[in-house]
Structure 1
Amino acid sequence: MIEIHPSAKISDLCDIEDSTRGTRIIIGENCVVDSFVKIKPAGGNGDVVIGSSSYINSGCVLYSGSGITIGNNVLIAANCTLAPVNHDFRDPDRLIREQGFLPSKGGIRVENDVWIGANSVILDGAYLREGCIIGAGSIVRGEVPSYAIMGGNPLKILGSRK
Structure 2
Amino acid sequence: MIEIAATARISPLADIEDSVRGSRIVVGEKSVIDSFVKVKPAGGSGDLIIGARTVINSGCVLYTGSGIRIGDDCAIAANCTFAPVNHNYARRDVPINQQGFQPSKGGIIIEDDVWIGANCVFLDGTIIRKGAVVGAGSIVRGEVAAYTIVAGSPVRRIGVRGA
Aligned to 1:21: 21
- Distance apart, 1:152 and its partner CA: 2.2
Task: Name structure 1 gaps, 5 residues minimum.
Answer: none
Aligned to 2:134: 134
- Quote the RMSD (CA, aligned, Å): 0.5
Q: Does 1:41 align with 2:36?
A: no
Spell out, residue by residue over 1:4-55, the C-alpha distance to the aligned partner (whole angstroms, 9 max, x if none). Answer: 0000000000000001110100000000000000011000000000000000
Aligned to 1:8: 8
Aligned to 1:115: 115
Q: Match for 1:91: what amino acid?
A: R
Q: What TM-score, normalized to structure 1?
A: 0.99
Q: Does 1:148 align with 2:148?
A: yes
Spell out, residue by residue over 1:39-91, the C-alpha distance to the aligned partner (whole angstroms, 9 max, x if none). Answer: 11000000000000000000000000000000000111000000100010010
- Distance apart, 1:151 and its partner CA: 1.5
The percent identity for this pair of structures is: 62
Matched residue count: 162
Q: What SS class does the counterpart of residue 97 from structure 1 fall into?
A: helix
CA distance in 1 between partners of 2:151 and 2:82 (Å): 17
Task: Name structure 2 gaps, 5 residues minimum.
Answer: none
Q: Match for 1:54: what amino acid?
A: T
Name segments (4+ residues, structure 1) moved above 6 Å. none
CA distance in 2 between partners of 1:156 and 1:92 (Å): 35
Q: What SS class does the counterpart of residue 125 from structure 1 fall into?
A: coil
Q: Does 1:103 align with 2:103?
A: yes
- Distance apart, 1:153 and its partner CA: 2.1
Aligned to 2:67: 67
CA distance in 2 between partners of 1:75 and 1:92 (Å): 41
CA distance in 2 between partners of 1:128 and 1:105 (Å): 14
Q: What SS class does the counterpart of residue 155 from structure 1 fall into?
A: coil
